[in-house]
Structure 1
Amino acid sequence: MADSELGSGRTHVLDLRRLQQFVAVVELGSLTDAAVALGLTQQALSAAMRGLETQLGVTLFFRSRGMQPSAAGLRLYECSHSLLASATKAVSDVQMAAQEAGGVLTVGYTPALTSVQVYEALTEHLPDGLSLKMDCLSPESLRRRMAAGELDFALGRAPRLLDGLASEQICFHRFSVAVRSEDAHELDPEGVALGDLAGRRLVYCSGGSIDSSDAVAMCRAAGFEPTVKVVNCGGLTPVAAPYAAGGGFALVTDYPGLHFGGRVTVLNLLETVVSPVYAFWLPASENGVVGSVIQAVRGTKTLVSR
């Protein structure tokens, strides 16, 4: 290949350090503040941003009032997080490949899932020797840690939980009914139909297994209009909602039985109503060990039976 061809190709390869600097300027909105945060002089940072604009052949900032990103700048900013996360992720992937053992697959999941559900969804797809590390995180923490390249996977129930990442629907869980154990004697222990819950209050934790509008729609389809109470307690497992609310019922995906220290009883729901589980990952991760897990979970979409 001619030197001119090599040179031409290189002009379009983004410098990751300069990209990090660009992100800092966008987020802080000031060359001065960004330079302090990065430990650079303002002149050096300004020259770096001019150089990035020259390389790309576009104007990235309007400089009349601080440093406001242009349309091209906003687009680059949108791309920057996944690019920087992929670069960070590449370091751990290379280190994992160099280990004799299989390494560790780090997975974050929302409170809408339980650790058992995450384990069941992924463990059969793990290569021999690969360990699994799971962290329950808020959606905001999931986004931040995926953007930082600190997670291999994120799991949740919302299809647009993490925009900009590759995703796949990997399985479904059946809904059950959770009530306070002291109220369970009022319902059939063999199973409950949605219609049996008429007159009871629908309760749920924000960020739980089902959106309130979906739960209300299910009740309406069963012939009744429920009253609704939201339990606003960050990090509380959804199955605990009836206890926290002082009564009522919750639609959950936990297995039937006693939960929350025996305070909550989960009963089978006679209707088959399911909640999907989605996996999210960086597109650049579709190689090596992480890629093998991705290929294994793709297209499974199995219904987890009780």
Structure 2
Amino acid sequence: MELELRHLKTIRAIAEAGSLTKAATALGLAQPALSAQLRRIERALGGTLFERGRYGVRATALGELVLERTRIVLPAVSELQREAARFARARRDGERLRLGGTHGPLLGALVDRLADAVPGTTVTTCASWSERELAELLAEGRLDFALAGACGSAAPPDAPHLTWEEVAVDPVFVMLPDGHPLARGREAELAALAGEEWACVPGDGCFGDCFTAACARAGFTPRRMYETDTASCVHLVQVGRAVGLCRATFPPTPGITTRPLAGTPLVWRHLLGWHRAGQRSDTAATVLAQARAAHAGVAARSDSYAHWLARREDRDVAARQPRTGLAS
């Protein structure tokens, strides 16, 4: 008899159950049938795998060796099956792209650009506030690409075999009702907002902790944070209930003024992710280039962001100029 994958699964099931009776139940077999199968496996391997006792079974030295190999072989075969399914699905789907993204204007802008860049391709989208969920969908082959984000220098969502490339880095802005005193300035000091209540979209990264730390450095603790969807955040700001945190690319919205936070205490990194085994390099390069172009287009439509970028460029130019002094 040649050893097969199902035999390794049987050995593992017996070891995990600790008895032939329990293993037979888990495998849906009669105990005599499982005992006969185990004897055939042991003959094929040349020795006893389990010692039988009144309290169940215990692996022999040979059994431990085989079990150690199953811990490597079985996960590797399962991953092979998943990657083969992803590969076959990608070829079967052909002209289809499944995009995921966190809430914001970038996902829609990318869909718009892909409609021109890859005509005839059907694009579907899935929005989620959870970067980890998007990473899991990529790992499972249920998404082709995902636009996610990370706060500051934090690592992207962790999942095996995923590639993450940076699309852009934005400062975090504050959303203010048009009548707010700070809406008239070019930027807002975080400390000047100490008495406000706040609103933002939830996430499962470290952004909340980073915001609290930035407030602590500014000398205060936030009074209250409303974590809700984008439309609700907008409403809370419009009616003056809270001020909001947003990416610098937040689109113009009636009743709301966006302003940069002085000193840029918080930044947001836009990331594009995909599964290495499920995407061709040319497809990934195309989607990444279009994502970067989409971000540039969204940023250009925000006057407050354009002004912030211009001021930063002026500061960078000034910093590169040689300094001269007066003779004493």
TM-score range, shorter chain: 0.5 to 0.7
Quote the residue 2:243 is aligned against. 249
Corresponding position of 1:100? none
Question: Would the aligned equivalents of 2:199 and 2:227 in 1 still touch at CA under 8 Å?
Answer: no
Structure 2 contact 146–273 (Cα < 8 Å) conserved: yes
Question: What letter corresponds to residue 182 of structure 2 in structure 1?
Answer: L
Query: Which one has the bigger helix percentage?
Result: 2
Paired position in structure 2 for 1:120: 109
Find the partner of 2:182 among 180, 187, 197. Answer: 187
Task: Give the structure 1 partner of residue 144 of structure 2.
Answer: 152
Q: Is 2:200 aligned against 1:229?
A: no
CA distance in 1, matches of 2:123, 2:84: 22
SS in 2 for 1:257: coil
CA contact (8 A) 2:139 2:161 kept: no
Identity of aligned residues (%): 16
Report matched runs for 1:287-306 at 5 Å: 287=280, 291-296=281-286, 297=288, 304=296, 305=299, 306=302
Normalised to the residue count of structure 1, the TM-score between the two structures is 0.60
- TM-superposed deviation, 1:286: 3.3
Match of 1:96 among 93, 96, 108: 93
Structure (1 or 2) with the larger CA radius of gyration: 2
Contact 1:153–1:280 under 8 Å retained in 2: yes
Question: Equivalent residue of 1:187, what SS?
Answer: helix
Report deviation, 1:164.
0.9
Alpha-carbon spacing, 1:78–1:281, altered in 2? closer, same or farther (3 Å): farther
Partner of 2:125: 134
Classify 1:256/1:147 alpha carbon distance in 2 versus 1 (closer, same or farther; 3 Å).
Answer: closer
The change in CA–CA distance for 1:256 and 1:160 in structure 2 (over 3 A counts) is: closer
- Say if 1:282 and 1:246 are closer, same or farther in 2 by CA, change over 3 A: same
Closer, same or farther: CA 94–169 of 1 in aligned 2, 3 Å: closer
Shift in Å, 1:292: 2.1
Given that residues 108 and 135 in structure 1 are in contact (C-alpha distance below 8 angstroms), is that contact kept between their aligned partners in structure 2? yes
Mean Cα displacement is larger for which, 163-172 or 295-304?
Answer: 295-304
8 Å CA contact 2:196, 2:223 repeated in 1: no
Once residues 225 and 83 of structure 2 are traced to their aligned partners in structure 1, the CA distance between those partners, rounded to angstroms, is: 38
Task: Choose the corresponding residue for 2:273, options 280, 285, 288.
Answer: 280
Cα pair distance change 1:176/1:255, threshold 3 Å: same
RMSD, aligned CA:
4.9
- How big is each residue's C-alpha offset from its partner over 1:61-110, in whole Å with a ceiling of 9 and x where there is no partner? xx969xxxx7766666765665443222222222234xxxxx2100122x
Count the aligned residue pairs: 254
The one-letter code matched in structure 1 to 2:85 is T
Is the contact made by 1:162 and 1:280 (CA closer than 8 Å) also made in structure 2? no
In structure 1, distance between residues paired with 2:259 and 2:132: 32
Residues 209-248 of structure 1, C-alpha deviations (whole Å, 9 max, x = no match): 8711222333455x33231534455xx2387177299833
Residues 1:31 and 1:265: Cα distance change in structure 2 (over 3 Å): farther
**Corresponding residue for residue 206 of structure 1:** 202
Deviations 1:143-169 (A, max 9, x none): 553343221122211333132132223
* Larger displacement relative to structure 2 (80-89 or 157-166): 80-89
Judging changes above 3 Å, is the alpha-carbon distance between structure 1 residues 135 and 93 closer, same or farther for their aligned structure 2 residues?
A: same
Aligned-partner Cα distance in 1 for 2:75–2:222: 41
The verdict on how the C-alpha distance between 1:174 and 1:210 changes in structure 2, with shifts beyond 3 A counting, is farther
Read off the aligned partner of 2:120 and give its amino acid letter: G
Q: 1:176 aligns with which of 173, 177, 196?
A: 173
